[in-house]
Amino acid sequence: MPLKKSWIDSANDPAHPFPLNNLPYGVFSIGENEPRCGVAIGDMILDMAAAEETGLIALADYPLFDVPFWNDLMAEGPAVWAALRARLTDLLADGAEEREAVEDLLVPMADATLHMPFMVSEYTDFYAGKHHATNIGTMFRGAENALPPNWLHIPIGYNGRASSVYVSGTEIRRPWGQLKGPDDDKPRFAPCARFDLELEMGAIVGTDSAGPITVQEADDNIFGYVLLNDWSARDIQAWEYQPLGPFQAKATATTISPWIVTKPALEPFRTDTPEREVELLDHLKDCGPMLYDIELEVTLAPEGKSETTIARTNYKEMYYSSAQQLAHHTTAGSPMYVGDLLGSGTISGPGKTERGSLIELSWGGKEPVTLDSGETRSFLEDNDTLTLRGAARGDGYTIGFGDCTGKLLPALDDPYKR
């Protein structure tokens, strides 16, 4: 599919992340005004609340955009999602008859503050990238026992904290927790010393379900995707994870990019999951290309210094798709809700520079990463800024998500000293 031409010139730049082919959904504010829904087009944002008020957008007999989140639109279902995309394309395409009316509803993206694009109902994070799982398993259990026996049969996951999902640009505080080294007699309470990132994609559930659904139904229920950084306290995790897995190590923060890229924008980039080593049970089998060819990168910038690209990989490296993860999530009868967020799990490729976490890049701290400034990192240091970027490259256009950025602030003084 080639570039769709818009009357907004910046949207026709092949390198710009928000062409007419994309039309991602976010929430923005200007100055002291209240946050409201917006659609990114080139270097502008279309004010959806204003478009609905003027009658340019009319999808229901009641307002959908008088709230600062996209959940109400999601709840209307795929037919309304498609109707909105078609209407937006008509309004913003080159030669649009209603251009003059739309021009009054556009605001410069440079003047906007971006907010959480949706209300997160619940959050689940998976461990579904084979290269990442193999690397982590090799470090801790040896190459012969790298993958747990169940890994090739089901997408492993855990239920996380919806309350600590934040939009890009939110500063993150280094957490305190119980730490116990291999030679320590007992644990101690201290700031995390091995804080890390995890490069992931997040899938947003747009349709409620009750009870088991198929992989195809799960794919139909996904509204769109964001970049996701699953901040991880590795030393806290090492002490707490047996026998029930991550808890406080993953509770500090999860950062997402500010724009929801919908499935229609990603359709041209569908690709198959990797070849299966073990045949999946029928309820989890692939029913077509369920991954996407999305180039991903991570940069790290020490305070006051330029960023260094520390990893590049691709979403197509995942072993399980978000549709398979969602289908598996429902097998025991768990209802899924509009606004549920599913983290893909760390996305790593086969090469050393394709690893999506510092614990892999530094091999547990034994091989520190050298930055362009000459500094090294095994894990994140105070005031480091992490940025995740993603792009799908089409015929003369780019589909982007906006940066997924967070700065790590120093730990608080002992929070229990009163």
Positions annotated as catalytic residues are 132
What size, in residues, is the chain?
418
* 61 Rama sector, left if φ>0, alpha if ψ -120 to 50, beta otherwise: alpha
Chain position carrying tokens 């049970």: 281
Cα 311 from Cα 213, distance rounded (Å): 35
Closest residue by Cα to residue 182 from 238, 242, 137: 238
Cα 221 from Cα 49, distance rounded (Å): 25
> How many C-beta neighbours within 10 Å does residue 413 have?
9
> How many C-beta neighbours within 10 Å does residue 142 have?
9
Cα 252 from Cα 282, distance rounded (Å): 37
At position 257, the amino acid (one-letter code) is S
Cα Rg, the chain, nearest whole Å:
22
| 209: DSSP letter | B
Using CA atoms, how far residue 59 sits from 53, 82, 102, 258, in Å, is: 12, 11, 17, 24
Name 222's bridge partners.
205
Cα 291 from Cα 379, distance rounded (Å): 30
Cα 384 from Cα 376, distance rounded (Å): 12
Cα 253 from Cα 54, distance rounded (Å): 38
Helical ranges in 168-309 per DSSP H: 215-221, 234-240, 263-266
First to last CA, the chain: 62
> For the residues of 81-125, what is the DSSP string, one character each?
HHHHHHHHHHHHBTT-TTHHHHHTTEEEGGGEEEE-SS----EEE
Using CA atoms, how far residue 150 sits from 153, 243, 289, in Å, is: 5, 15, 23
